[in-house]
Amino acid sequence: MKRSWKTWARAVAAGSVGLALLAACSGNSGGGSDSGDGQVTLKINFWGDFGLDELKSRYEADNPNVKISLNTGEYNAQHEDLQKKLIAGSGAPDIAAIDEGFVVQFRGQADKFVNLLDKGAGQYESKYLPWKWKQTLTPDGKAQIGLGTDVGGLAMCYRTDLFKAAGLPTDRDQVSALWPTWDQFIAVGQQYKAKSGKKFIDSATNIFNPVLGQQPVGFFDESETLKMDGGPKAAFDVAAKMIGADLSANLTAFSPEWNSGFVKGNFAVLACPAWMQGHIKNTAPTTQGKWDVAAIPGGGGNWGGSFLTIPKQGKNVDEAYKFLEWLVQPEQQIEIFKKVGNLPSQPALYQDPAIKDFTNPFFSNAPVGQIFSKTAENLTPQYLGKKNGPTRVAVENVINRLATGNLKGKPDQAWTEAIKEAEKAAKS
């Protein structure tokens, strides 16, 4: 008995000596990210390509005390990550991009962001499309959490070489005339498939999203009630018809296989918000000159568009605002447009010759400046609810299951499932 007690006592003694040793080793780590000499690092989180690579170098050259670190990531993950860091109270980037699909969720937490009106951003209100300005403004109008970067707009990108091979017209006006409505668009697709034996569109979800963007009401109305029978149903039906007619290459959007589909010409058309141009160019540089841009069936509409915000927890809020302010100036916005196609959300720029007369050689010299600014000006924006992001993912999943998974060939059952999944996502 006594002996075993002794053994334990020894073990404890030995353990505590070890602890002391460890503690001695671990002194004085940590420390701040500011290295005291006035050097500031601004971290910016976004997804895809915001066209910032060259602007970053230029800003750094003009402001030697500022380093900018660009962190691109996956679309949903970046928003979820920001939400996490806002609640945790630390770890958020100095500047965080937010897509319009998540804007209501973050606008509801305006106290966690720097109110840009306090920084003097009010002077830019008149420069922005009114609805774009309002999207990040709290309902009481007292706090502005972000400044708009781009608007999506909507057009239809198509492959002239593949159209030609299938005996379809290649001129952008003639192509636009082929499909005033989505039903006519499907008919063209069937024609294309019959001639070429290839699939017409990349993915049914990339039809669902633009059609939904054309509806007056999206997933949620302004009282945050899920309205599946309105816009979502209309968009789902078009997507289901596409799948039913076997026109989709069924490549999950933004997956590696989808990207290789661009290079291989697995599909001939792609719904194109302005920001999609940069993605096509980055993904399939070899298809230069083989694309063109026509009008989208069903008239204008919007898909996507972003804002840059400054989370309050950052240490370099002032430097972050300086950079943000610099970034939304016409000169920089035009440069981004030319680089990756993101259309600025300041209508005065649409009259600027740099945008108005801009033709994109990648898209057969299509006057993309005019095409996209026209759709952006005529836009009536949709209200996107707090749970818009997860609800969209849930319905996209069901569409993918209808295309290739366990709901194949069962559009009615798929719609029931879509309602169920959307309700679940809206509640989560």
For binding to other proteins (CB under 8 A), which residues are involved? 10-11, 13-15, 17-19, 22, 73-74, 76-77, 80, 83-84, 87-88, 250, 252, 254-257, 260, 264, 266, 393, 397-398, 400-401, 404-406, 428
Give CB contacts under 8 A, 24+ apart, made by 36-41.
38/65, 39/65, 39/67, 40/65, 40/66, 40/67, 40/316, 40/319, 41/66, 41/67, 41/68, 41/69, 41/316
Cβ closer to other proteins: 99 or 292? 99
Tokens encoding 218? 């999206």
Q: CA–CA separation, 283 vs 262, rounded Å?
A: 7
Please check whether residue 376 is in contact with residue 153, taking contact to mean a CB–CB distance below 8 angstroms.
yes
H or E, element range at 305: strand 305-309
Q: Which is nearer to other proteins, 105 or 302 (CB)?
A: 105
Nearer to other proteins, 258 or 337 (CB): 258
Task: Determine the 3-state secondary structure of 385 from DSSP.
Answer: coil
DSSP notation for 176-237: HHH-SSHHHHHHHHHHHHHHH-S-SBS-THHHHHHHHHHSSS-SB-TT--B-TTTHHHHHHH
Q: Which is nearer to other proteins, 171 or 257 (CB)?
A: 257
Which two structure tokens, joined as six digits, stand for 381?
Answer: 């924006």
Cβ closer to other proteins: 11 or 194? Answer: 11
Minimum Å gap between C-beta 406 and other proteins is 6
Instruction: Show the DSSP H helices in 136-181 as ranges.
Output: 160-165, 172-178
Minimum CB distance to other proteins smaller for 80 or for 221: 80
Q: Give the shortest CB-72-to-other proteins separation in angstroms.
A: 12
> Minimum CB separation from other proteins for residue 175, in Å?
26
Strands 40-47 and 95-99: parallel
CA atoms within 13 A on the CB side of 274: 34
At 306, which helix (H) or strand (E)?
strand 305-309
What does the alpha-carbon distance between residue 87 and residue 311 come to, in Å, rounded to a whole number?
11
Rounded least distance, CB 393 to other proteins, Å: 7
Q: Per-residue DSSP letters for 404-422?
A: HSTTTT-HHHHHHHHHHHH
CB 24 to other proteins: min, Å: 13
Which residue, 35 or 255, has its beta carbon nearer to other proteins? Answer: 255
CB of 307 to other proteins, least distance (A): 21
* Closest CB 250 distance from other proteins, rounded Å: 8
Minimum CB distance to other proteins smaller for 266 or for 277? 266
Cβ of residue 346: shortest distance to other proteins, in angstroms?
31
Least distance from C-beta 50 to other proteins, angstroms? 18
Nearer to other proteins, 77 or 177 (CB): 77
| C-alpha span between 327 and 321 (Å, rounded) | 10
